[in-house]
Structure 1
Amino acid sequence: MVDAGFWIGGFGLGEGIDERPALLSAIIDVLPDEKPRMISGLGLPEEILEGIDAGIDLFDSTYIYSLTLGGFALTFSLDKSGNQYKYQKSPIESDLTKINLRAKIYRKDMSPILGNCTCYTCKNHTKAYINHLFNVHEMLAQILLEIHNTHHYLTFFHVIREAIKDGRFEKFRQTFIESRRAHYEREAVCA
């Protein structure tokens, strides 16, 4: 028989990202260490890293599903050091995490979503094909995109597990978050 753990709900419903670490710490501090802790509502890469840092073991999120419905493909860097300067920048968006495959710019783009991705979608299909499928409202567009997004996010979790195992998690987390924050600050200055 498996002992039950703790489910933490109500996050991602209005609290600021700067408020979240203190809230998570207050909750985690009163929960026993030997029981697993699962949280709902956190899904962004930064939120996952902050949750793990606070002591969360499991995540329940609609992040991948919501991205896929919107036509977005995850493209953020899976660099083992956490550096987000090595990303595939979208020619039409300033977001480091994703590209919108519904956009007209991808109509003739014969490259995969990510050149180094090993998922079925990237190995067998182009951005142009997925863009076409979205434009003709073909259900296959979401299936192919969900394959890529799920693969990308599972690889992200693999990189996190490796960082934890190697004792590099804190450095990975800091580098990942700081490099993304620096990018967003540069974009705000340029705008």
Structure 2
Amino acid sequence: MEFQINAKDGAARAGVIKTAHSEILTPVFMPVGTCGAVKSLDTDDINVLGAKIILANTYHMYLRPGSEVMKKMGGLHGFTGFKGSFLTDSGGFQAFSLSNNSKADENGIKFKSHIDGSAHFFTPTSVLDMEYALSSDIMMVLDDLVALPADIKRLSKAVDRTLKWAKISLEYHAQNSQNDEKIARQNLFAIIQGGTDKELRKRCANELADMRAKNGRAFDGLAIGGLSVGESADDMYECVENTIPHTDESRPRYLMGVGTPENLIENIYRGVDMFDCVLPTRNARNGTLYTSFGKLSIKNARFASDESALDPLCSCHTCKHYSRAFLHHLFRAKELTFYRLASLHNLHFYLNLMRQARQAIIDGRFEAFRAKFYSDRAGEF
């Protein structure tokens, strides 16, 4: 993987990530395709949107269809037909959040499948074996996630485990990369944990940034995990602001599972390069649509005979071809077409916001762009 910074404006960065499958302009928002597909969309839709990377989840793909099917089908690219890049989360968050009986110990995470209750155990190396089967371009290590708020003792233990598992993962991947050209093209990101504790985040970030395998290999990128799990937005921003200085300039910075359009703008401002979140597609299915002037609830009766587009400034397929009245009707009638049209619009909004932010950084006007973003959304719509 190659990463190059093209421009900076304050802490905000515009760069390019090159993987074996695509060239990704940053800052970037990655649509979430948990089970290998973005809900209600196909690969043609993703291509029209211009997304060069999507996220798939190791936990879900491990439970079904499983590693043997993925190997036979040629990994995620062969299985789905998507020609861009894939990032795969380790699945640790899902093992933690979807199982009523998950338990982390020093060796990994024990959990029961949310599908059939069967027992499973994720270790740092078993997660990587699954990600090798998925053949993802960017693989996330297994980390120990803690819901917030949490006491300092539990947060400290999570950092200890996360660092231990990261070291195991890095050594394992370094060894496998020497023996397999295909694996060598896969990239490994570490995850910084520590809750909202400044010193724990600093320690975790510094150690992961300095960590090397025996052959000298380092992590290809650093992610900030364990946020957007119960803390306030202000606490999140403060945590990111305190953590970023302990990561180096030469690697991409990824804030996991975040978030609203405001969250994205604020964290780009603080130096984050990569984002993912289910919010745009989940909200789309529930009738909440993002516009240049704020959120719009299409279920509202006032849209029943509204002939205008969702967003007069939007150039997405939905806004170019359909009225608010039609979308209101589809939502009320529970027509499946609504999910696709709404998801296309919300993802276009997110991806276009990233393109606009990138250009503002390149032009040296990100602060003005950020101010206009908030002033536009302050009005009635």
Match of 2:8 in 1: none
Counterpart Cα distance in 2 of 1:10 and 1:69: 26
Q: TM-score, normalised by structure 1?
A: 0.77
Question: Relative contact order (alpha carbons < 8 A, sep ≥ 6): 1 or 2 greater?
Answer: 1
Question: Aligned pair 1:20/2:236, yes or no?
Answer: yes
Any idea what the Cα deviations from partners look like across 1:97-150, whole Å, max 9, x if unmatched? 211111221111122112232211111111111111111111100101111111
Deviation at 1:180, TM superposition (A): 6.9
Q: Answer whether contact 1:13 1:41 (CA < 8 A) is retained.
A: no
Deviation at 1:17, TM superposition (A): 2.2
Counterpart of 2:232 in 1: which secondary structure? coil
Match of 1:29 in 2: 245
Counterpart Cα distance in 2 of 1:117 and 1:101: 16
Question: Aligned pair 1:123/2:320, yes or no?
Answer: yes
Matches within 5 A, 1:102-121: 102-121=299-318
Any idea what the Cα deviations from partners look like across 1:32-67, whole Å, max 9, x if unmatched? 211111111322122111211221110011121121
Match of 1:143 in 2: 340
Change beyond 3 A, Cα 1:104–1:160: same
Counterpart Cα distance in 1 of 2:252 and 2:361: 17
Counterpart Cα distance in 2 of 1:176 and 1:131: 26
Deviation at 1:165, TM superposition (A): 0.4
Q: Answer whether contact 2:255 2:274 (CA < 8 A) is retained.
A: yes
Counterpart Cα distance in 1 of 2:356 and 2:327: 27
Question: Aligned pair 1:155/2:352, yes or no?
Answer: yes
Q: Match for 2:278: what amino acid?
A: T
Q: 1:57 aligns with which of 255, 258, 273?
A: 273
Q: Match for 2:353: what amino acid?
A: F
Q: TM-score, normalised by structure 2?
A: 0.40
Structure 1 runs of 4+ with >6 Å offset? none
Match of 1:45 in 2: 261
Counterpart of 1:38 in 2: which secondary structure? strand
Where does the alignment leave 5 or more consecutive residues of structure 1 unmatched? 77-86, 88-96, 185-191
Counterpart Cα distance in 1 of 2:237 and 2:352: 24
Matches within 5 A, 1:165-180: 165-177=362-374, 179=375
Q: 1:4 aligns with which of 216, 220, 225?
A: 220
Q: Match for 2:349: what amino acid?
A: H
User: Greater Rg, structure 1 or structure 2?
Assistant: 2
Deviation at 1:158, TM superposition (A): 1.3
Question: C-alpha root-mean-square deviation of aligned residues, in Å?
Answer: 2.2
Q: Match for 1:128: what amino acid?
A: A
Counterpart Cα distance in 1 of 2:264 and 2:303: 29
Q: Which has the higher strand share?
A: 2
Any idea what the Cα deviations from partners look like across 1:73-113, whole Å, max 9, x if unmatched? 2112xxxxxxxxxx3xxxxxxxxx21111122111112211
